Homo-oligomer: A and B are copies of this chain.
Amino acid sequence: MITDSSATDRIMGQFDFLQQADNSFQRRFFQSVSLINLPAAQPICQQGSQCSHLALVLSGQARVYKIGDNGREITLYRIGPGESCILTASCIVNGHPFPAFAVSEEPIEAVLINPADVVRWSDETPAWRKYLFSLVSSRLSEVIGIVEEIAFRRVDTRLASFLVQNAEPARERIEQTHQAIASDLGTSREVVSRVLKDLEQRRLIQIQRGAIQILDRAKLAALSNQ
């Protein structure tokens, strides 16, 4: 139950479906959910486990990923504010075990919902239903995008995309280790190191320990959409 009106206001602001729903739903919603805080780098779901709750993220970010036998990882998608770990919802509804891992990348504030409510509300409230459905289907599109990436694109172009998209605005800097980048792209650390070295020799970036400085965003972007 959430009573604090500043909290309910923030939540309402973050989730459109709440604004679209009627007052009675809003009341029941805040009566039955709870608010939690997670530290960064906290495991959230283990592959194969049953999910006990559906979490709607208010602030912070989580990463959903797969791990291969050799220990290599690949990121499937990220969950940001206003979104939800929809795999959880699909596990709840269909009774499947969770097919991946999830971990918080930043401290997370989230609203927790019971499986029973997830199902009941989707019978009662069109806005909630639409929210759920459009979340699953946009995840499906995202994951199909990942398939396309790893099946058809070369690592250097994917890495260039990664750098362009993940650079802090203005500073043009990415503060991640080669290992972290490799885990995101689904390749190995050595490959990332070698490709980065190559990009550095072509003067597109400059490598520092634990960080990468973009020197020529235009050329990097050109490489990234080959």
A interface residues with partner B (beta carbon < 8 Å):
66, 68-70, 72, 74, 76, 87, 89-90, 93-94, 96, 99-100, 122-123, 126, 129-130, 132-134, 136-141, 143-148, 150-153, 186
Residues of chain B within 8 A of A87, CB atoms compared: 137, 140
Q: How far is the CB of A59 from chain B (nearest CB, A)?
A: 25
Asked, given contacts A151-B150, A152-B72, whether A136 binds B144 with beta carbons under 8 Å apart, the answer is no
User: Which of chain B's residues has its CB closest to A145's CB?
Assistant: B99
Q: How far is the CB of A143 from chain B (nearest CB, A)?
A: 5
Residues of chain B within 8 A of A186, CB atoms compared: 147, 151
Residues of chain B within 8 A of A130, CB atoms compared: 93
Interface centre among A89, A138, A146 (most CB of B within 10 A): A146
Asked, given contacts A90-B140, A132-B133, whether A150 binds B147 with beta carbons under 8 Å apart, the answer is yes
Which of B68, B70, B136 lies in contact with A133, CB distance below 8 A? B136
Q: Are B133 and A69 in contact, with the CB atoms below 8 A? A: no
Bound Cα distance A150, B89 (Å): 26
Bound Cα distance A100, B145 (Å): 10
Q: How far is the CB of A122 from chain B (nearest CB, A)?
A: 7
Q: Are A147 and B94 in contact, with the CB atoms below 8 A? A: no
Q: Are B147 and A146 in contact, with the CB atoms below 8 A? A: yes
User: Which of chain B's residues has its CB closest to A139's CB?
Assistant: B140
Q: Are A141 and B99 in contact, with the CB atoms below 8 A? A: yes
Q: Are B122 and A123 in contact, with the CB atoms below 8 A? A: no
Which of B137, B145, B147, B153 lies in contact with A74, CB distance below 8 A? B147
Residues of chain B within 8 A of A134, CB atoms compared: 90, 93-94
Which of B132, B147, B150, B153 lies in contact with A143, CB distance below 8 A? B147
29 residue pairs bridging A and B, Cβ less than 8 Å apart? A66-B147, A66-B151, A68-B148, A68-B152, A68-B153, A69-B152, A72-B151, A76-B144, A87-B137, A89-B137, A90-B133, A90-B137, A93-B130, A93-B134, A94-B137, A94-B138, A96-B138, A96-B141, A99-B141, A99-B144, A123-B126, A129-B129, A132-B133, A133-B136, A136-B136, A136-B140, A140-B140, A140-B143, A151-B186
